[in-house]
Amino acid sequence: MLAEVLVVVPTLGQRPDFLRETLTSIRSQEKPVDVVIVGPQSARGLAALAQEFDMDMIPDPGSLTTAWPAEIVTVDVVPSAAWSWP
Q: Which residue has the higher pLDDT, 3 or 30?
A: 30
For the chain, domain boundaries: 34-80
Q: Does 64 have pLDDT greater than 60?
A: no
Q: Does 83 have pLDDT greater than 60?
A: no
End-to-end CA distance of the chain: 26
Q: Does 20 have pLDDT greater than 90?
A: yes
Give CA–CA dist 26/5, Å, rounded: 11
Q: What is the side-by-side order of every strand in the sheet holding 5-10?
A: 5-10, 33-39, 56-59
